[in-house]
Structure 1
Amino acid sequence: MTKPRNSAREIAADVAAGRTTAVETAKAALGRIEAAKALNAVVAVNSARTLADAAAVDARLRPGETMPLAGVPIVVKDNIWVGGWRVTQGSRLFANFIAPQDAIAIERLRSAGAVIVGIGATSEFACKGVTTSQLYGPTRHPLDPALTPGGSSGGPAVAVAAGLVPLAIGTDAGGSSRRPPAHVGVAGFKPSYGAIPYGPGFAEPFYGLSVIAPIAAEVADITLAFEAMAGLDGRDPDSAVVAQQAKDTAGQRIAFSPRLGLDVAIDDVVANGLASAVDRLSAAGLRITQRDPVWSANATEDAIMPLQHAGLAALCGNAFRMDPTIFDPDVAKQIERGLSWSGTEVAGALLASAAIANAFAAFFTEIDLLLTPTVPCAAWPLTQLGPDMIGGKAASPRAHAVFTPFVNHARLPAISIPCGTDRHGLPFGLQIIAARGQDRSLLAAAQEVEAILRA
């Protein structure tokens, strides 16, 4: 498999300067995707459409149009509308669905010159922490095909980590585009809720939580994609303005929370790797104190999970009653559970979500950036929902996901960047979180942290 020669920024510069063409770049990406079919990262291609789109980019360049992503090949997660493409949410219910139009984010990426070369695998409805579906099967870790990359944006994350494309677009409603990047050794960014307009597209089981999330090998490429997609749009009533200027990292108040203030297990190699990374950042001049957010008693993932279950039940309950076997068995269990929740219990989950947001809001009045683990463990066997053990203790199926969902409920921006590997060479990540709307400050800080950790 031949990896792309350059970053997204370098590809765009080469295409714009005429050193290569968008068509040549797209053909090379399609060849890499074909050679890596065993990973099952990309579940749909449309070569004719891709090459036509690439030719259109080359035609736009000839009269001198400037495009920040000129000719950059991208993979888009299988729950984001890409007009004219088969987009299924990894579900048999949508096995033959053709998206009638682009999501706003995809429309903006195309305008910036990006070329879509494939659709990236997701778990059904993006509702599992591993990437597998009855429609397409499992996506495999690029370093060990017996392992999972996690989920639900496993396809986009693997596409970047395996070098198929320099940039991919996922979604994140509870960590779906931070944990898989952490597991495969790339960067994944969850913007503030509303910073990138969401939709038109499928109805979301995670109402008010899910965001469009760029994934890349380098933070600078994520920043380039974010700038292409971000900004108000009247078609999305939740689209929001984020701060235009990044704060100087030297003046930022930075905290490190080894377990996000939660009573959860973490593997020693991850805990030690995170502590070592923080020591290196401190030695490089960043002023970091150790401090945890303070959570209320009802701030637990169990307390907020009814929102996902009830959302799935609202969207899929009728189809489930008619034929439960059409669904992934793990997703079917969530739908069944959602049908049983009372209105009072769902309201309780909303209150728990609000308590999490309030706790984070209080924390970020005194802190600018928070460093935490992205994941408590490295990747695990492909056939399991989660590892058997974390931190020497028996682990529940969701124990691998403990450090990311609260960020979504607070609607904050967060990014995962690689910070170490275990004894098998499997990566894990450092999560950096900022106050809502401080996306550009977060991305600037993440580039600085990335440079220090790579030195």
Structure 2
Amino acid sequence: MSLLDGPISALVSAVQEVKATPSELTDEALARAEARNPAINAICQMNPQARAEASRVAARLQAGETLPLAGVPVLIKDNIWVKGLRSTQGSKLFTDHIAPEDAEAVKRLRMAGAVIIGVATCSEFACKGATVSPLYGITRNPVNPSLTAGGSSGGSVAAVAAGIVPLALGTDAGGSSRRPPAHTGLCGLKPTQDLIPYGPGFDEPVWGISVICPIARRIEDVSLAMRVLGRLEPVSPTPLEIAVSEDFGTGQQLDTDVKANFEAVITAMKSAGVQVAQAQINWPNDIKGHDIQPLQYAGLAQMYGDVWRKTPDLFDPAVAGQIETGLSLSGVEVAAAHQASHQMRQTLRAELDRYGVIATPTTPCAAWPAEMDAPTEIGGRPAQPRDHAAFTPQINHAGVPALSLPCGSDSQGRPLGLQLISQTGRDAALIALAQQLEPILKEIT
């Protein structure tokens, strides 16, 4: 087995022990990208300096530096700045934008010895749940290329799932680094707000909810990445106690296979000795995840409304619709969305203080056809555009950590995910819990 397919820790050890070189691993990742990317469209730009970066990592190792990610090939989502590379957010408006500096997360990866091999595709402005952009087209799911990889971090997950790189960075403002991993059989962590510095980079439609996230095949790989990205030291595991909620208190219907899978997860956890309780989550005023969407619409309208009026054809039709909606919103409607955001934060933090860890399905449905922005039906009922994201944006507005673990697949072989949510600042404990659950969930088919 290639080092690119095993644990990141084994790859780093091989490089440090001079059993492999950063250049060899970079060459292999670049060759895989050339062979595998055309079918999935996960990478929108290769780094022409990747081999030079690998040589510099080798020189640093020879000089005696200890590099925790020595030689690890990495991809960076197209809305995170990588100095000297084109950074577009999947938008024709930024076709010629060259990042003037590295985002802090990218700096930390490079300081740790990682090699940036390129930039991964994302939906326009990272504002859509499928990675389909006017600039780069459709990103497909390596598990089944007829399906979406999810969004907006679809390129990052597709590249990792295809084995091109063992680690990629995504972003998450409403679930974009949890739902795509669930659709592709990967692990994705949304850290506590501001644990990983966000930026320097693009302006955000909604400030204070976006985070930079590691995406990998194993939780141990996520843990190693977080030691670099978030300066997060591992902690010892604690007794396994989890509260579960099939619908996260939202009333959202699940696809039949997702419901059966969640029940199988609960059974498997109980059989393994996990203490499982039912979480009763009472959202005030019956707020749902989509109730905060006016904040995104208004933010996009503020940033791009004037350009949209002049050149509407440059925009993704779905994003254009968000801008148009944002321009029509009243101040009262935007204020109501702010109130919903505040209520989400208060409610979820209180419930986490009560339960410690809450588990939900990451998504109420599996991946849908790649050409579609969202599924039209979930649980046998017509679906609204954001119903597939019913269980994730609340976490962003609460500022708490959450992650998605693979937990089997549906009857069509489409991967499914389990979302674990914990109290703010409990990222290390959440990762330790996930590492205990990972082998249990692998037995679920």
User: 3-state SS of the aligned residue for 2:259?
Assistant: helix
Amino acid at match of 1:196: I
Output aligned runs, 1:160-309, within 5 Å.
Answer: 160-231=160-231, 246=235, 248-250=237-239, 253-297=241-285, 299-309=287-297
**CA displacement at 1:388 relative to structure 2:** 2.5
Cα contact 1:177–1:189 (8 A) shared by 2: yes
1:74 aligns with 2:74: yes
How many Å apart are 1:248 and its aligned residue? Answer: 3.8
Shift of 1:6: 2.2
Q: Secondary structure at the match of 2:439?
A: helix
In the alignment, the residues of structure 1 paired with residue 415 and residue 280 of structure 2 have an alpha-carbon distance, to the nearest angstrom, of 24
Separation in 1, partners of 2:141, 2:157: 9
For 1:42, give the aligned amino acid: I
Partner of 1:34: 34
2:406 & 2:440 partners in 1: Cα distance? 12
Partner of 1:236: none
Task: Give the structure 1 partner of residue 95 of structure 2.
Answer: 95
CA–CA distance in structure 2, aligned partners of residues 226 and 4 of structure 1: 19
- TM-score, structure 1 as length reference: 0.94
Distance, in Å, in 1 between the alignment partners of 2:201 and 2:156 is: 18
CA contact (8 A) 2:289 2:391 kept: no
Correspondence for 2:125: 125
3-state secondary structure, aligned to 1:372: strand
Which residue is equivalent to 2:158?
Answer: 158
2:5·2:163 contact (CA, 8 Å) conserved in 1?
Answer: no
Deviations 1:112-159, CA, capped at 9 Å, x for gaps: 111111111100000011001110000011122111111110000011
Which runs of no fewer than 5 residues in structure 1 stay unpaired? 232-241
Which one-letter code corresponds to 2:347 in the other structure? A
Aligned length: 442
Deviation readout 1:315-350 (Å, 9 max, x if unpaired): 111211221111111100101111111222111111
Alignment correspondent of 2:381: 393
Give the whole-Å Cα distance in 2 for the aligned partners of 1:435 and 1:368.
Answer: 7
Offset of residue 265 of structure 1: 1.2
Instruction: Give the structure 2 partner of residue 320 of structure 1.
Output: 308
Instruction: State the partner residue of 2:317.
Output: 329
Letter in 2 for 1:397: P
> What is the match of residue 20 of structure 2?
20
Mean Cα deviation higher: 414-423 or 301-310: 301-310
Amino acid of the residue matched to residue 104 of structure 2?
A: I
Contact in 2 for aligned 1:298/1:352 (Cα 8 Å): no
The Cα offsets for residues 197-237 of structure 1, whole Å up to 9 and x where unpaired, read as 00000001121100001100000111111110115xxxxxx
Report the CA distance between 1:3 and its aligned residue.
Answer: 8.5
1:32-79, CA deviations, whole angstroms, 9 ceiling, x for partnerless residues?
011012210011002x30001110000000022101100000111000
Report if aligned partners of 1:246, 1:438 keep a CA contact under 8 Å in 2: no
CA RMSD of aligned residues (A): 1.5
Matching residue of 2:329: 341
What does residue 424 of structure 1 align with? 412
Letter in 1 for 2:315: F
Alpha-carbon distance in structure 2 between the residues aligned to 1:103 and 1:316? 23
1:369 and 2:357 aligned = yes
CA distance in structure 1 between the partners assigned to 2:295 and 2:131 by the alignment: 21
Amino acid aligned to 1:38? A
Amino acid at match of 2:238: T
Distance across 2 between alignment mates of 1:245 and 1:418: 21
Q: Contact 2:3 / 2:11 at 8 angstroms: preserved in 1?
A: no
Pair 1:441 & 2:429 matched? yes
The alpha carbon displacement at 1:253 in A equals 4.0
CA distance in 1: counterparts of 2:19 and 2:234, whole angstroms: 33
> Counterparts of 2:266 and 2:58 in 1: how far apart (Å)?
44
Q: Please give the secondary structure, in 2, of the residue aligned with 1:145.
A: strand
User: What's the CA shift for 1:5?
Assistant: 3.5
Partner AA of 2:403 in structure 1? I
> Segments of 4+ in structure 1 off by > 3 A?
244-248
Match of 1:179, as an amino acid? R
Aligned partner of residue 188 in structure 2, secondary structure: strand
- Decide whether the 8 Å contact of 2:86 with 2:96 is kept in 1: yes
Contact residue 207 and residue 311 of structure 1 kept, 8 A: no
Gaps of 5+ in 2: none
Distance 1:146 1:289 in 2: 38
By how many angstroms is 1:303 displaced? Answer: 2.0
